[in-house]
Amino acid sequence: MSLPPKEASKTTREICGLAPIIPVLVVENAAHARPLAEALVAGGLPVLEVTLRTAAALDVISEMAKVKGGHVGAGTLITAEDVRAAKAAGATFGVSPGATDALLAACEEEDLPLLPGAATASEAMQLLARGYDMLKFFPAEASGGAPALKAIGAPLPQITFCPTGGVTPDNATSYLSLPNVICAGGSWVAPKDMVERGDWAGIETLTREAAALRR
Ligand code: 3PG
């Protein structure tokens, strides 16, 4: 099977359009996966990015994929092996901090829609040349924030973005109000300490606030 990049971007844009914020999740314990995903979906953020940065991440994806109404993606995809493992675990999309030919080829072969990272006009243009026009702007704040993304959008309006990295409740609207932004990613809705003590009600409250951010 081979997923054309243009089709992959169409799918990732549709997924990104489901909510203003994609929670970026670092989950150490697979037992937390179900209640965490249920709190996030109940709070109004159904699109979830589970980073492949913990030993439990693939089990977390498998568990979260069972939660009704959720769309579970795998983040921090670096290698072709990551792509195969994420797909096998049940991820329906992938997110990467950047892009390599090997990573893009693996996602295309595995039919895993990818939201690939780009921080500069040249990186965005290289991905566009291959057919990807829905990208992750990463690391968003460190790369110049909303003014930088607005500037990139002037010559490249055909590319849409999900800025991630340093996005907070205070600066999210500066991104979401840009015409080339579909949604933003951020880790603040599921803080490590709240996940570890199982404060699902608290996470649902943070989620509701994030879901109310306006594009
Ligand atoms: C990450 O690298 O974990 C993501 O970019 C999320 O960044 P954030 O913690 O700044 O939201």
Which amino acid residue places its CA nearest to atom 2 of ligand 1? Answer: 165
Provide the terminal-to-terminal Cα distance of the chain, rounded to the nearest Å: 35
Q: Tens digits of per-residue pLDDT, 12-70?
A: 999 999 999 999 999 999 999 999 999 999 999 999 999 999 999 999 999 999 999 99
Active site residue 66: no
User: How many angstroms does the Cα of residue 90 sit away from the middle of ligand 1?
Assistant: 22
CB 49 within 8 A of CB 22: yes
Which pLDDT value is given to residue 39? 98
Cα torsion at 173, 177, 178, 182 (round to 10°)? 80
Arithmetic mean of pLDDT, 3-7: 94
User: Closest ligand 1 atom to the C-alpha of 138?
Assistant: 5
For ligand 1, mutation pick of 24, 45, 137 (most atoms within 8 Å of CB)? 24
Q: Is the pLDDT reported for residue 1 higher than 70?
A: no
* Alpha carbons 140 and 197: distance in angstroms, whole number: 29
Which residues does a 6 A CB cutoff place in the pocket of ligand 1? Answer: 24, 164-167, 186-187
User: How many angstroms does the Cα of residue 5 sit away from the middle of ligand 1?
Assistant: 25
Q: Tens digits of per-residue pLDDT, 142-164?
A: 999 999 999 999 999 999 999 99
Which amino acid residue places its CA nearest to atom 4 of ligand 1? Answer: 165
Active site residue 204: no
What domains appear along the chain, each with residue ranges and CATH number?
A: 5-211 (3.20.20.70)
Q: How distant is the alpha carbon of residue 58 from its chain centre?
A: 16
Query: pTM, whole model, 2 decimals?
Result: 0.96
Q: Is the peptide bond before 139 cis (omega within 30 degrees of 0)?
A: yes
HSE on the CB side for 54, CA within 13 Å?
18
HSE on the CB side for 159, CA within 13 Å?
33
Which amino acid residue places its CA nearest to atom 11 of ligand 1? Answer: 186
Q: Is the pLDDT reported for residue 174 higher than 70?
A: yes
Nearest to 165 by CA among 147, 146, 152, 180: 146
Q: Tens digits of per-residue pLDDT, 84-98?
A: 999 999 999 999 999
Which pLDDT value is given to residue 131? 97
Residue given tokens 């992938």 in the structure block: 94
